[in-house]
Amino acid sequence: MTTPVTIVMVEDDEGHARLIEKNIRRAGVNNEIIPFTSGGAALDFLLGPDGSGTVNKGNPLLVLLDLNLPDMSGVDILKRVKENEHLKRSPVVVLTTTDDAVEIQRCYDLGCNVYITKPVDYEKFAHAIRQLGLFFAVIQVPPAA
């Protein structure tokens, strides 16, 4: 891996963000995690000031996305990322509380790569995130075109 994968975490709840980060680290993932608490800020980072996504050219990105954001729905971010010709190959992991079948379907239809429901039970939560971390450690992420 020439450039290490950057994990972009879009999560409005800082507690959740912290717990997610902790458990990813516990899985031995040491990649940089850039947290965003609002959809707008995350989009600015991902697509750049001109909104074209060229700013991240050559950077391998992995997006960890919550759907319930204060300023927009995570679905919109997913759509923008998957529609962008530079970012469309970057894996997007939706990590949210919703386990609604319709919502899950919609996300996969829009090109989401993994959909994980946050379990309330912390043991399960921690386990799920650690599994995810292990998954991060092995997956191949292509650099943004």
Partner 1 sequence: MTFPRPRLLSSQPLLLGVGFGILILIGIAGAFLSNQARREADWIEHTLQVEQQISTLLLQVRRAESYKRGYVITMDDGFLSDYQKAANGIPPAYDRLKLLTADNPAQQQFVTELGPLLDQRLADFAEAIDAMQNNDIATAQALVRRMEGRDHTERIRELAERMTATEAGLLVDRRQAAARTSILLAAVTIGGAILIMLLGIASVFAVQRTTRQRDEAEKGLIDTNENLEKIVEERTADLQEANAEIQRFAYIVSHDLRSPLVNIMGFTAELEAWRDEALARIESLRERGAPAEDADEGDQDEGELAGEFNEAINFIKSSITKMDKLINAVLKLSREGRREFHPEPIDMAQLLDGIISTVAHQTAETGTTIAVRELPQAKSDRLALEQVFSNLIDNALKYLKDGVPGEIEITGRETPLQVIYEVKDNGRGIDPKDHERIFDLFRRAGQQDRAGEGIGLAHVRTLVRRLGGRMDVSSELGQGSVFTVTLPKYWNVRSERSAA
Interface with partner 1, residue 15, by CB under 8 A: yes
Between 18 and 57, name the residue whose CB sits nearer to partner 1. 18
Q: Which stretch binds partner 1 (CB under 8 A): 47-55, 106-114, 121-129, 133-141?
A: 121-129
Query: Does residue 97 touch partner 1 according to CB under 8 A?
Result: yes
**Does 127 sit near partner 1 (CB under 8 A)?**
no
Closest CA to 54 of 25, 86, 11: 86
Candidates 39-47, 51-59, 77-85, 92-100: pick the segment binding partner 1 (CB under 8 A). Answer: 92-100
Contact call for residue 126 and partner 1 (CB under 8 A): yes
CA distance 118 to 99: 9
Sign of CA dihedral 114, 118, 119, 122: positive
How remote is the C-alpha of 48 from its chain's centroid? 17
CA–CA distance, 8 with 45 (Å, rounded to integer):
9
Residue selected from 2, 121, 138, 140 as contacting partner 1 according to rule CB under 8 A: 121
d(CA 119, CA 21): 16
Is 71 an interacting residue with respect to partner 1 (CB under 8 A)? no
* Residue 52 phi, psi dihedral angles, 5° rounding: -95, -20
- Sole window of 1-9, 48-56, 78-86, 114-122 interacting with partner 1 (rule: CB under 8 A): 114-122
* Residue 139: strand pairing partners: none
Asked if 109 interacts with partner 1 (CB under 8 A), we say no
